[in-house]
Structure 1
Amino acid sequence: MRKIAYIRVSSEGQNTARQKKALKQAGCTVFYEEKVSGATMERPQLQALLDELQEGDIVLVHEISRLSRSTKDLLEIIERIREKGAGLKSVTETWLDTSTDNPMNEFLLTIFSGLVQFERSMIKQRQKEGIEIAKAQGKFKGRKVEVTEGGKKAQKAVQAIEWYKEGKSVRDICKTLSIGTGTLYRLLEREGLR
């Protein structure tokens, strides 16, 4: 039986040392670590961990939110761990232990994963409300458009606007010029075309 650590932080600027220390103390010998949002399932290290799991292994996380921010995704991850004959434990939420067949753990897992998703939704709602208030007060302008005046970016901006006016699709413009759709939409909004 191996104790396998999954360590995740949301951005490059965040430090994983606290999680790593606690998971080493919990006896982990194999570590999968990444700096990516927990809101997505597109996490290479998580996928590698799930693919390489063996029967009897136990996956340890510092806290449940490190594994996923979505109840649906969390339950899917746990199901994949179970299908491999492995278990899951949390260092800080001691009630989380799927390595034993305990109905109370299952019940608590469902409740707490729902709370994690609820908390994330509340944060997004508060952020949206704050942005609306700032917009009403004229203090919020949104993200700056990356395609600005001068240089190659200015040429891309001119080309993007020209193609948009000609009726070329947003998808084709973005693909051809290697710019994001958000950048293009902000540019079009700045030019009064949206």
Structure 2
Amino acid sequence: MQQIARKIAYIRVSSEGQNTARQRKALKAAGCTSFFEEKISGATMQRPELKRLLDELKQGDVVYVHEISRLSRSTKDLLEIIEQIKSKGAGIKSVTETWLDTSNENPMNEFLLTIFSGLVQFERSMIKQRQKEGIEIAKREGKFRGRKTELVDGGKEERRLQAIIQAFKEGKSIRHIREVYKVGTGTLYKILEREGLR
């Protein structure tokens, strides 16, 4: 017996104070009958409802979002999520960005995604190149000392470090962690990179 394809909605807002009604209304009008909803920053990788949606996806299902920024604020992460959906034999559609539709064989859509991916890779390469050139200039001028992580291993700082890592794993937003643990954005991202969380 052939399985009926489901239209599944993913809804996300960044904070508890924001309303999901606008997204829900548009996605219901698009024919969605199943809804996964969460109030959490798109900057964090810890999105329980999105993970549950991806785990439950079946071949032929189509994931609907109001706009692609609801899936992620990071282009790299967004493309990885799209690949996960496609690997399950499912599709994805955006109500707002009508060009995003992988629910059927669409050469133009594949072309746009390929261009999108290429631009992301190009941007990353350019950033690395500019960083490398900047460091070389700073070294020549005797100004480069290298970046140090403000939080170090050992004692009280070790406990603070572990608390920050745990908070991120639990899905706390970058802003929340910065404010609670009084840690700079640059230091926080360096810690997450060092721990393999970014």
Under TM normalisation by the shorter chain, which class is it? 0.5 to 0.7
Distance 2:183 2:81 in 1: 35
Determine the structure 1 residue equivalent to 2:69.
Answer: 65
Q: Does 1:50 align with 2:37?
A: no
Aligned position for 1:5: 9
In structure 1, the residue matched to 2:45 is: 41
RMSD (Å) for aligned C-alpha atoms: 3.0
Asked if 2 retains the 8 angstrom alpha-carbon contact of 1:55 and 1:85, the reply is yes
2:115 paired with 1:100: no
Which structure 1 residue ranges, 5 or more long, are not aligned? Answer: 119-166, 187-194
For 1:171, the equivalent position in structure 2 comes to 158
The alpha-carbon distance between structure 1 residues 175 and 90, as it changes in their structure 2 partners (threshold 3 A), is closer
The offset of 1:28, in angstroms, is 0.3
Distance 1:79 1:185 in 2: 34
Q: Is the 8 A contact 1:61 1:67 kept in 2?
A: yes
In the alignment, what sits opposite 2:20?
16
Segments of 5+ residues of structure 2 without an aligned counterpart are 124-153, 168-176, 185-198
Partner of 1:78: 82
1:172 Cα deviation from its structure 2 partner: 2.6
Query: What's the % identity of the aligned pairs?
Result: 70
In the TM superposition, 1:116-127 aligns within 5 A as: none
Q: What is aligned with 2:149?
A: none
Report the Cα distance in structure 1 between the residues aligned to 2:25 and 2:183, rounded to whole angstroms.
44
State the shift of 1:173 in Å.
5.3
Give the TM-score taking structure 2 as reference length: 0.60
Which stretches of structure 1, 4 residues or more, deviate above 2 A after TM superposition?
Answer: 106-115, 172-176, 178-186
The alpha carbon displacement at 1:89 in A equals 0.2
